[in-house]
Amino acid sequence: MNAKQIRIHSDSQLIVNQVTADFAAKDASMYAYLSTAHQLLRSFQAYEIKQIPRGENSHADALARLASAINDKVGRKVPVEILAQPSTVTSEACAVRYEDTWMSPIYLYLTNGALTGDKAQARKLRYRSARYTVINDVLYKRGYTTPYLKCLTAEQGEYILLEIHSGVCGDHSGSRSLAYKAFRQGYFWPTMHQDANSLVKRCDKCQRFGNVPHIPAEALTPIVSPWPFAQWGLDLIGPMPQGKGQVKYAVVAVDYFTKWVEAEPLATITAAKIEDFVWTHICCRFGIPYAIITDNGRQFDSELFRQFCTRLKINLFFASPAHPQSNGQVEAINKIVKKLLKRQLDKAKGAWPEKLPEALWAIRTSYRTASMNPQDGTKFPSEEPSEENLGDYCLYRILTTNDHLTRGRKRQLDVTGPSAYPLPNPTLPDTFDLGHVSCSRPAPTVPHRKYKHNARLPRPI
């Protein structure tokens, strides 16, 4: 209509005052509509907006009823525009780009047998493609310890790492843990570790809330737990910023065998609250434990909680006074929980009770060296081992040490490739630690072409 100067009448006091900046638009939807209105008003040379009574705005009401009441088949003298989406939503167009990636030569060779003109490069490509396959036009990599890994481009890998690092289950983990977490989800691209390291360095929360060690690292003294969920560590966190429901404390429990974590926000830390937490989150979910280790807080060292443990035949042990390292397992989990909450909340500290389940989810899905699995993937035994079989468990751990080392090397091969582990020099001496199992292979008595590159001396297999 080429109008340059307009006068706007509206019967809504809220809309008029928001446009004139007398009222603030606090709702996200109202703020979006206000921004769109300001953009439209800037296209006019001059405008005036005025509030009028509802009775004087009958023409606009009639047009609104006309747009919604009349059937489309009836001819209209007033044109009505139908919007497919709200005016505050901007349509986005995604440009699809086709360009060569690291997967292109491998994919073309496996599908069409195409090779480059260079003989050396062609040989290298054939050797490299042996560990890849194409299924339904998608390239997959054969893993050493895993099923087929879906191959991704660098851009797709960046999105996967960002979701794992700071998504709904993000724990803002380090670069190494982040790369292996993406790998365990079934994805692969050659620069996984480099991209993960770059992402962690760019993460503002990881840099601001990262650990700053002031004392040298010290090896932990493990406390042996005979079977899963037999021995739990119990501790309190707080006081923290007050959240919904007046909660400002949290009780945390961790299993010494599987490293499974349970936590609950509390408004008050009484013996009755601790008893209810142990019964609801430990006994009703995982069975009655054999022992509970906690500090000397009055909530734990109370007559009510002692009677509760005695009634269920739970052994209650207390850590040494003024020495939290004796209950270091749960203290370490407390540190991890508080670190995750800091990185997820930033300035909204009072929302930590709502973010606590997400922090627990992130901890449970992270890879743990002690259990060799994420906590949610830990295999539970069908029955508890008896006292006669406890010694067999220790022997099993000793005999499977080499197997764990081999699986660790294979996991490294899945990510970095065979070049990460060069062949050992046969002339160098081998060193062994106590408990290593090996067998010797006799050297051939007569030199033979088959043993051209083998050592003359017996070597362990």
> Do 262 and 330 share a domain, yes or no?
yes
214 inside domain: no
414 inside domain: no
> Do 14 and 148 share a domain, yes or no?
no
> Do 53 and 111 share a domain, yes or no?
no
Domain boundary among 377, 403, 436: 377
Compute and round to an integer the Cα radius of gyration of the chain. Answer: 33
Cα–Cα distance, 103 to 140 (Å, whole number): 10
449 inside domain: no
pLDDT value at position 398?
37
432 inside domain: no
Which residues lie closer than 8 Å to 284 by C-beta, 6 or more apart? Answer: none
- Segment 180-196 shows an average pLDDT of 88
Domain boundary among 153, 177, 208: 208
Domain boundary among 377, 411, 442: 377
> Do 190 and 286 share a domain, yes or no?
no
> Do 354 and 244 share a domain, yes or no?
yes
Cα–Cα distance, 393 to 364 (Å, whole number): 24
Of 22-36, 43-57, 266-280, 386-400, which one has max mean pLDDT? 266-280
Q: How many Cβ atoms are within 10 Å of 447's Cβ, its own excluded?
A: 11
Q: What is the 3-state secondary structure (H, E, C) of the chain?
A: CCCCEEEEEECCHHHHHHHCCCCCCCCHHHHHHHHHHHHHHCCCCEEEEEECCHHHCHHHHHHHHHHHHCCCCCCCCCCCCCCCCCCCCCCCCCCCCCCCCCCHHHHHHHHHCCCCCCHHHHHHHHHHHCCEEEECCEEEECCCCCCCEEECCHHHHHHHHHHHHHCCCCCCCCHHHHHHHHHHCCEECCCHHHHHHHHHHHCHHHHHCCCCCCCCCCCCCCCCCCCCCCEEEEEEECCCCCCHHHCCEEEEEEECCCCCEEEEEECCCCHHHHHHHHHHHHHHHHCCCCEEEECCCCCCCCHHHHHHHHHCCCEEEECCCCCHHHHHHHHHHHHHHHHHHHHHHCCCHHHHHHHHHHHHHHHHCCEECCCCEEHHHCCCCCCCCCHHHHHHHHHHHHHCHHHHHHHHHHHHHHHHCHHHCCCCCCCCCCCCCCCCCCCEECCCCCCCHHHCCCCCCCEEC
- Segment 307-312 shows an average pLDDT of 91
Q: Cα-Cα-Cα-Cα dihedral of 451, 455, 460, 461, to 10°?
A: -30
- Which residue range forms the structural domain that includes residue 124? 104-208
> Do 239 and 178 share a domain, yes or no?
no
Structure tokens at 57: 């705005």
pLDDT value at position 431?
61
> Do 244 and 367 share a domain, yes or no?
yes
Cα–Cα distance, 176 to 179 (Å, whole number): 5
> Do 366 and 236 share a domain, yes or no?
yes
**pLDDT category of residue 308 using cuts at 50, 70 and 90:** very high
Of 88, 131, 135, the C-alpha closest to 106 is 131
In tens, the pLDDT along 204-248 reads: 877 877 766 666 666 656 666 677 888 888 888 878 888 888 888
- Give the domain CATH number at 161: 1.10.340.70
> Do 61 and 113 share a domain, yes or no?
no
pLDDT value at position 219?
63
Is-above-0.85 flag for pTM?
Answer: no
> Do 300 and 365 share a domain, yes or no?
yes
435 pLDDT higher than 80: no
- Segment 37-49 shows an average pLDDT of 84
pLDDT value at position 416?
63
Cα–Cα distance, 33 to 30 (Å, whole number): 5
Give yes or no for a contact between 49 and 16, defined as CB atoms under 8 angstroms apart.
yes
Cα–Cα distance, 356 to 340 (Å, whole number): 9
454 inside domain: no
> Do 57 and 132 share a domain, yes or no?
no
Torsion sign, CA atoms 343, 345, 349, 353 = negative
- Give the domain CATH number at 289: 3.30.420.10
**pLDDT category of residue 458 using cuts at 50, 70 and 90:** very low
Pick the more confident residue, 143 or 370.
143
Backbone phi and psi for residue 381, each to the nearest 5 degrees, phi listed first: -70, 155
Structurally, the chain folds into a number of domains equal to 3
In tens, the pLDDT along 121-141 reads: 888 888 888 899 998 888 999
92 inside domain: no
For strand 138-141 and strand 149-151, is the pairing parallel, antiparallel, or unpaired? Answer: antiparallel
pLDDT value at position 322?
55
> Do 201 and 275 share a domain, yes or no?
no
154 inside domain: yes
Q: How many Cβ atoms are within 10 Å of 415's Cβ, its own excluded?
A: 19
170 inside domain: yes
Cα–Cα distance, 274 to 314 (Å, whole number): 14
